[in-house]
Amino acid sequence: MRKPRGKPRARLLPSSDSGQPAAARPDRPRIETYGGGGFRISGVRHAGSVIVLPEATLAWALQHPAELTIESLAPVRDAEPKVDILLFGGGRSLVPVDGRLRAALREVGIVIEPMDTGAACRTYSVLVAEERRVAAALIAID
């Protein structure tokens, strides 16, 4: 009998009608799992928080939503190609984003959508499949 190994990680593998993983753009990073203190993105395990951009996945030092600033989001603000939507996964629960931060991002054409990390991962997958210009800033959860 197998022994349980702690909390299970959530798996995110949308499938097509053929049963194969769906991806509108196979070159875009794909969030496959989250939990256990990190993420599996396009087959690579990332420990800790991450920023997922259209062209890359970056380690992110942020550990708590209160640390969120325009400077901590510089990789998103300065990304090429530009993104229109930033999904902020603030951990286990929804954490509101400061109005000044919203305004600063809006000035450069980015709308930030706060949600819990799991919802942000799932929403990212849907928006990528729709070929939207989206990024995700995700705080890791156990």
Domains detected in the chain: 10-138 (3.40.1230.10)
Check pLDDT > 80 for residue 42.
Answer: yes
Check pLDDT > 60 for residue 24.
Answer: no
Q: How confident is the model at residue 118 (pLDDT cuts 50, 70, 90)?
A: very high
Per-residue pLDDT, 27: 79
Check pLDDT > 60 for residue 7.
Answer: no
3-state secondary structure 85-141: EEEEECCCCCCCCCHHHHHHHHHCCCEEEEECHHHHHHHHHHHHHCCCCEEEEECCC
Check pLDDT > 90 for residue 19.
Answer: no
Q: Mean of the per-residue pLDDT values for the chain? A: 87
Contacts of 32 (CB under 8 A, 6+ apart): 11, 12, 13, 39, 40, 41, 42, 43
Tens of pLDDT, residue by residue over 74-106, are 999 999 999 999 999 999 999 999 999 999 999
Q: How confident is the model at residue 119 (pLDDT cuts 50, 70, 90)?
A: very high
Phi–psi pair at 50, nearest 5 degrees: -140, 160
